[in-house]
A and B are shown apart, each in its own frame.
Chain A
Amino acid sequence: MNILVFLVPCSLLLGLGALAAFVWTIRSRQYEDMEGDAARVLLDEDDMQTK
């Protein structure tokens, strides 16, 4: 059962990492315009670079 001492913090760290990533997506306003961001993928690379 000693393995738990290692694995439980491990799973917690992974979970916290995911939570931190989620907080970052909120902070960087990625839920502001989900339709638009999905469409922007289709914009040409070359066009984007001139921006």
Chain B
Amino acid sequence: MSLTAYTGYESVPKETPDSNQGKMNPTHHLVLPGVHCVGCIHAVESTLAALPDVYSSRVNLSQRRVSISAATDADPSHWITALSSAGFEAFEAEAPQDRQDDDLLLPLGVAGFAMMNVMLLSVAVWSGAIDTTRDFLHWISAAIALPATAYAAQPFFRHAWSALSVGRLNMDVPISLAIILACGMSLYEVAQGGEHAWFDAALALTFFLLIGRVLDQRLRRRAKSAADDLAALEPSRVLRIEEGERKSRAIAEIAVGDKLWITAGGRVPVDAILDTDEVKIDCSFLTGESDPVLRRVGDPLYAGEVILSGPVVLRATAVGQDTTLRRIAQLVTNAEMSRGHFRSLAERAAAIYTPAVHIISAGAFTVWLLVTGDVRTALNVAIATLIITCPCALGLAVPAVAVAATSQLYRRGLLLTSDTALERLAQVDFVVFDKTGTLSSRVLTAPSNLNEQELGVLRALADASNHPLCRALSNNLIDAPVVQISDVREEVGVGVSAVWQGKTVRLGRRSGNESDVELRIDKDVIELVSEESLLPSAKAAIENLQKNGLHTAMLTGDNAANATRMANELGLDQVWSDVRAERKHEIIEDLKAEGKRVLMVGDGLNDNAAMAAAYVSIAPGSALDATRNAADIIIVSGDLSKIDGAIQTSRNACRRMKQNFAIAALYNTIAVPLAVLGLATPLSAAIAMSTSSISVVANALRGFRS
């Protein structure tokens, strides 16, 4: 979107029923996958401002959404039309959930404030304050640190308690223990006029660990909002026939028995029976076969099927969670649950760390108690050990890298809908592709016997339409001569017609046989051939994957001849053809049993079970709702060449996480013996904690800028 695009808009806020303009709560939310710059923000906001029923709107660039204030019963469909004519695809979305990481930002701010102030006071102590001055500084530190930790460390206390109350240990247990013991013991020491207080260490621990938590939460929220956005891509409105009139309604409002009006090219929103005489439908989402199927009046139609010849009238028989589509999606969700819990790097690190810390500090406490017989000394050593084992670096090691890597993938158009997808993707060694819809698509080709003028008309008509087939066709006809056509009219799902040199010309489905496409010039009819062709990005994508040592394979329901021809063209290592959905699932399970880490790339409902069984799965953005939900990663544009880059990024990220653990471990091998021997001071703890945390974060950010 160029900056010159905003001319002639008018964005003065309109008179609204509320007096506090601009501060109104948004009533509607749209997802805008295409916004990416300041020009887009302006174009979207000014387009919406020009509409009479929009009070105000604001684009959120990070979430690629726009929130709109309007009357609560306003119909968003014409805003979507207005935005699409301004060049932005828009989809209606649910209101976003209340933000949760604000809850953590405030504790983070409090911990940061308290840490810095106590650190200042501690510097004075370390540089040699004695007697009453030291006690005075310690008391002020206590006055800041105790309320601050009591508030800011609550997230850790809560998690630790919920683990302890079911008899388990997690990483928050030693953290909470360290914070509480450090504060309690320091208070006692200060009251005794003691030399060492650990207030700054307790606060630094809270602060650094909270940074890790905020990053972690941000990651989860991004994955969740990606999943929400995908849900929004499914049509959310439908025309319901009410007393003879067609009214636009949200799908959620549709009840069993309602009459619905679907135009050609539309998707059936709910399970229904047909009220129109007969209709051709595309049920490829269920079978994987793209040949149209004929249904007659009274026949059932299932949610997700596409009406090819229309318009039709349906009567709803099952809605919401009861539709066949939902039930299949539910099966997939169940399959994913039973896939077995993936143990992430962070969990494995915590599993080693947590018991080790408890054993070492308890050991230090017992030995010192036995040797010196002094509880106070022994307790001080145990606290020093707890604090200095540096869970800060561990707490930052994974989230800092994960945030950097997912942001990079997000900027490249890859959405991760699961928070462990990054680590799983890194381990992939076998890539399985579905054929139709993933590696290939149907394209129209012009017969070779067309003359120049006919080619020109064909190109002009194809240029005029937004249909994917026309898009692909006009790309192929880039060399055709340019001719002028007028009165262009497009009938969605049927065809596009226009006037050329006084004659009616039309490109579209042939009447009576919806799978064939024809070009009509006045009375002449020219048949176009629709054939399967490979996606332009497929070959390069597969070559790159192979170059990086990945095994590539194709899994398709198509016949062996077609499958082999395509596989040879792409240079795939392996082909399975004539495979039905259940068999696809079995093949993936077999590969798994051989110890392969399979990445399944698919777009159809018939791939869903296989995708759920695979180690990790990818779907193009054009896939159906249920399929996208089954996938761990979505490629918004469907460009397969991004898969290789994504695998490289994820491997890079995992390498970085392991480096970070190594850095943390290195600090510990130096610090822990000192702490156990009773040589650690609050000063050395402060240095170790800060340097390890900073080096871990710096290492994480290295190299993830795009």
Chain A interface residues toward B at CB < 8 A: 1, 4, 8, 11-12, 15-16, 18-19, 22-23, 26, 31-36, 39-40, 42-43, 47, 50-51
Contact = CB atoms under 8 A, between A and B. Distances in A.
A35 B62 contact: yes
5 contacts: A15-B116, A23-B106, A34-B62, A40-B38, A43-B42
B109 A23 contact: yes
Contacts of A34: 62
A4 B63 CA distance: 48
Contact of B41 (A4, A23, A40): A40
B102 interface: yes
A32 B113 contact: no
A51 B41 contact: no
A36 B113 contact: no
Q: Quick one: which of B11, B38, B106, B116 has the most chain A CB within 10 A?
A: B38
Nearest to B10: A50
A47 B109 contact: no
A51 B38 contact: no
Nearest to B13: A51
Interface in B115-173: 116-117, 120-121, 133, 136-137, 140, 144
B60 interface: yes
Contacts of A16: 113
A49 B63 CA distance: 26
A34 B133 CA distance: 44
Residues of A contacting B: mostly: helix
B261 interface: no
A8 B12 contact: no
Given A4-B133, A18-B113, A39 B61 contact: yes
Of all A-B residue pairs in the complex, the 7 with the closest CB atoms, nearest first, are: A36-B61, A39-B38, A19-B113, A22-B109, A33-B60, A35-B62, A42-B38
Interface of B: 6, 10-13, 37-38, 41-42, 59-63, 99, 102, 105-106, 109-110, 112-113, 116-117, 120-121, 133, 136-137, 140, 144
Contacts of A1: 133
A11 B137 CA distance: 13
A21 B116 CA distance: 16
A43 B38 contact: yes
Contacts of B120: 11
Contacts of B6: 47
A51 B12 contact: yes
Nearest to B214: A31
Given A8-B121, A40-B38, A47-B42, 10 more contacts: A4-B137, A19-B113, A22-B113, A23-B109, A26-B106, A31-B102, A32-B60, A36-B61, A39-B61, A51-B13
Nearest to B218: A31
B11 A39 contact: no
A35 B106 CA distance: 21
Contacts of B11: 50-51
Contacts of A15: 113, 116-117
Contact of A31 (B38, B105, B113, B140): B105
A18 B115 CA distance: 13
Contacts of B113: 15-16, 18-19, 22
A48 B233 CA distance: 32
B41 A43 contact: yes
Contacts of A31: 102, 105
Contacts of A42: 38
A51 B45 CA distance: 11
Nearest to A39: B38
Nearest to B136: A4
Contacts of B110: 19
B46 to A, nearest CB: 9
A35 B35 CA distance: 11
Nearest to B96: A32
A49 B112 CA distance: 38
A33 to B, nearest CB: 4
B597 to A, nearest CB: 34
Contacts of B140: 8, 12
A7 to B, nearest CB: 10
B109 A36 contact: no
Q: Quick one: which of A11, A18, A35 has the most chain B CB within 10 A?
A: A35
Given A1-B133, A4-B133, A43-B41, A36 B60 contact: yes
B484 to A, nearest CB: 36
Contacts of B63: 33
A39 B41 CA distance: 9
B575 to A, nearest CB: 43
A11 B140 CA distance: 12
A36 B133 contact: no
A15 to B, nearest CB: 5
A11 B606 CA distance: 65
Contacts of A40: 38, 41
Contacts of A23: 106, 109
Contacts of B62: 32-36
B117 A26 contact: no
A23 B106 CA distance: 7
